[in-house]
Structure 1
Amino acid sequence: MKKVPAFLLIMALLFLNPANYMAKTMGVGDFIDTSGHWAEAEIRTVCNNGLMQGVGVNESGKRIFAPDSHVNRAQLAAVLEKTFDLDYGQLRFIKAPAASDYFWDVNNEDWFANAAMLCAINGIFESGRELIPDESVSRIEVARCIYRAFEAKKIYVPMIMLMPYYSDTKGLSQEDVNAIVFVSNTGIMKGTNSLFHPDDPITRGELARVLNQCIALIKANPPQNESKNYSLNISVEEVKSADDYLEIDADIPVIEGMTNTNLQKSVNQIFKQKVEALKAELYAGAVEQKQNAEEMGFPFNKYQIYTRSGPYFENGKMLSLYVDYYFYSGGAHGLTDRCAYNYDIESGQVLALKDLFVPGYNYKKLIDDAITAEISKRPDDFFADEAGFTGINEDQNYYLQNETLVIYFNQYEIAPYAAGIQEFRIPLQDFYKGLKTELYLLPVK
């Protein structure tokens, strides 16, 4: 009999203050706006795993998730970093990278900056352009990023490869088609009624399900953690000077650790001579230009040289890196010339693009098709017709990064100055039949 009044007292307190009771009993993955939602269980799971969280509280102070709100690119970067435990992979950096190295519109202090940078380093996001962090991401972009993330982390999922039929995927690039095949066959993403809805923005509820599927696949198929055969170390020699004619701020790579010491000395000398030759050329031009300016009574702007090294790739067999040489010699703006250096570490051979492949392998068509498909998605960024891209050439510029072949074109080669250096990234796995195994051994899927 004594328990009845106590029970009634508890019920009265709950009736008078139900919100307080709910707040105390709601778990990490419980939100006032997800109760009864189709993705309620998915949201609870993804939040309990620490991959997503709520967006704040409503006017009553209750936690909300906004399951039907769209996901923006900054949010996508953050969840991809957590889901795939992104790192630098096989890339090594002479100087610590920053988000602003990869995106024009990202401040290094932004909450998503590190995640966006890691997505760029792993080839999940395109870099060298704007990120547009607040823009909603589409279902096809998410599928593409998921596909790239599995490739970057070497997470290979056994599956029966079936070509799903969606009537709204015509005109997509080959990579996007591959991405849809992957996410469909693995159950990560599905369409409805023969439609994939590639251009529809993805919602937070949908993304929760996608991430849970990814985590399940990762647990069942752990990443292939290969031993990293690092034998080299690269530092920089800083060269800084300024006078009335020329300012120099140059980072010159210095390689150590090559067993072929003659090659090491030769390569290091090439780096030095490049800066010295640029200095001699610009200094002579600056002296002449300053004299002309004084005689004609117009202002003279100092010439400039600014160089920075990008990340480098090494696998014990080959070394691949690039250096950006920026120079200003009057006019409206300067120019950046990217120079790639690719070497067989043992023989000292300079590796042209064709040297990566076995004789007779038609790598050129595969690369041309990939570049053409990418250009078709943003044609206004490039020159048209003969002035634009007409195919790669024998001495095509390239470098390697994290299981990826990067084909690049310097300013004005195929696009206006404002478009910058154009990079096209192609997974090395796409060349699995043609890569020379003595230089690069792909992991077995």
Structure 2
Amino acid sequence: MIATNLIKVFIGFSTLFTYFDFEQPSNMMEVSELVETSVFVESNTYKEEFLVYPQVTNMNDQKAQGKINEVFKTQIKSSYEGYLKLKDDMEKFKGEEKKHCEEFPYSCEYSYITRFEVMFNQDGKLSILFYDSIYSGGAHGIETVATYNFDTKTGELYTLKDIISNESKFESLTEYAKKFMKDHQELFFDENIIGEFKVSEDTQFYFTESGIDLIFQQYEVAPYAAGHPTISIPNSEL
């Protein structure tokens, strides 16, 4: 007997559900293959509650999942070592400069915080930004960003060289980025300062729906107030 059955498919993190209505024998209702379009990313802490790092879960391929998670375990361990060094240096300074710390207590304060952002998580690609925020007295702290772009089918990391079609594209992307900076002088350093800038395979990036975004460290191509400036590169330029 033919019956009308309703199948509900949940895709990625989305709260949007898609329903397909079709007729099929009720004893044949099964899904033979699940296509993984995104992965689950959990927030974890390491040693201290302010040292936060990501871990992926529930992936179909456990080997790929393990590769991705190991990258972030290595990263957070490095951050922890950085925190311990900062703590040791600042506590030593406070012990040696007690009078100074009493007069200018803010200059003897310190903190080390990590955080992350999931920038892209679909079509078998995962882009995560990992931040180390360090304060050791003074007017403000400093924050560094590291980009991680994964093929979720294999757990391997992408480099910019994997994305750009040929070597000559690096030159054209450099010109594209320089023009963008020149056209947005309110955000970036002037042309004299960024004259030596080049897009290379080491330039940090993350995936977007329309291509990639280049992302820079504080002070790399713009003043501190600009934070981590980005330049969007459409697929047509890659």
TM superposition score normalised by structure 2 = 0.71
1:249 maps to 50
Q: Which amino acid aligns with 2:96?
A: N
In structure 2, the partner of 1:367 is 173
1:122-143 deviation digits (Å, cap 9, x = unpaired):
xxxxxxxxxxxxxxxxxxxxxx
1:262–1:324 Cα change, 3 Å: closer
What is the match of residue 378 of structure 1?
Answer: 184
Shift in Å, 1:347: 3.9
| Change over 3 Å in CA distance of 1:342–1:92 after alignment to 2 | farther
Which has the higher mean CA deviation after the structures are superposed, 369-378 or 414-423?
369-378
Shift in Å at residue 91 of structure 1? 9.7
- The gaps in structure 1 that reach 5 residues or longer are 1-89, 94-226, 242-247, 432-445
Mapped to 2, the partners of 1:271 and 1:235 lie a distance apart of: 15
Task: Give the structure with the larger helix fraction.
Answer: 1
Cα deviation for residue 273 of structure 1 reads 1.4
Partner of residue 332, structure 1: 139
Among 206, 218, 233, the alignment partner of 1:426 is 233
* Equivalent residue in structure 2 for 1:286, among 86, 90, 96: 90
Q: Cα distance 1:253–1:413, how it changes in 2: closer, same or farther (>3 A)?
A: same
Equivalent residue in structure 1 for 2:104, among 287, 293, 299: 299
Contact 1:403 1:429 in 2 (8 A): no
Residues 304 and 228 (structure 1), Cα distance of their counterparts in 2 relative to 1, 3 Å cut? farther
SS in 2 for 1:394: coil
Evaluate the alpha carbon distance shift between residue 279 and residue 405 of structure 1 in structure 2; reply closer, same or farther with a 3 A threshold: same
How big is the shift at 1:413? 0.6
> 1:410 Cα deviation (Å)?
0.8
| Alpha-carbon shift at residue 299 of structure 1 (Å) | 3.2
Q: Name the structure 2 match of 1:11.
A: none
The amino acid across from 1:330 in the alignment is G
Letter in 2 for 1:300: P
| TM-aligned CA deviation for residue 240 of structure 1 | 8.7
> Aligned AA for 2:52?
D
Structure 2 Cα separation of the partners of residues 228 and 424 of structure 1: 31
Question: Any residues of structure 2 matched to 1:2-401 within 5 Å, and which?
Answer: 229-238=36-45, 249-258=50-59, 259=61, 260=63, 261-296=65-100, 297-301=102-106, 302-358=109-165, 360=166, 362-385=168-191, 387-388=193-194, 390-401=197-208
- Would you say the 8 A contact 2:159–2:202 is kept in 1? yes
- SS at 2:202's partner residue? coil
| Larger strand proportion of the pair | 2
Q: Structure 1 residues 272, 420: CA separation in 2 closer, same or farther (over 3 Å shift)?
A: closer
Cα displacement string for residues 194-233 of structure 1 (whole angstroms, at most 9, x for unaligned residues)? xxxxxxxxxxxxxxxxxxxxxxxxxxxxxxxxx9842521
Larger mean CA deviation between 280-289 and 342-351 belongs to 342-351
Superimposed CA distance per residue, residues 224-281 of structure 1 (whole angstroms, 9 cap, x where no aligned partner): xxx984252101014695xxxxxx6333111113411441441241242143123112
2:176 is aligned with what amino acid? Answer: A
SS in 1 for 2:157: coil
Given the superposition, is the C-alpha separation of residues 266 and 427 from structure 1 closer, same or farther in structure 2, using an over 3 Å criterion? same
SS in 2 for 1:310: strand
Q: Distance in 2 between matches of 1:289 and 1:383?
A: 35
* Count of residues in correspondence between the two structures: 202
SS of the counterpart of 1:322? strand
Matched to 1:364, the amino acid is: F
User: Equivalent residue for 1:198?
Assistant: none
Structure with higher Rg: it is 1
Question: Where does the alignment leave 5 or more consecutive residues of structure 2 unmatched?
Answer: 1-10, 15-33
Partner Cα distance (2:187, 2:119) in 1: 28
Give the letter aligned to residue 299 of structure 1.
F
In structure 1, what is the Cα distance between the partners aligned to 2:226 and 2:141? Answer: 14
CA deviation after TM superposition for structure 1 residue 310, in Å: 1.5
| TM-score, reference length from structure 1 | 0.41
Q: Give the ranges of 4+ consecutive aligned residues of structure 1 lying more than 6 Å apart after TM superposition.
A: 90-93
Percent identical residues:
22
Distance in 2 of aligned mates of 1:418 and 1:253: 27
Structure 1 contact 253–271 (Cα < 8 Å) conserved: no
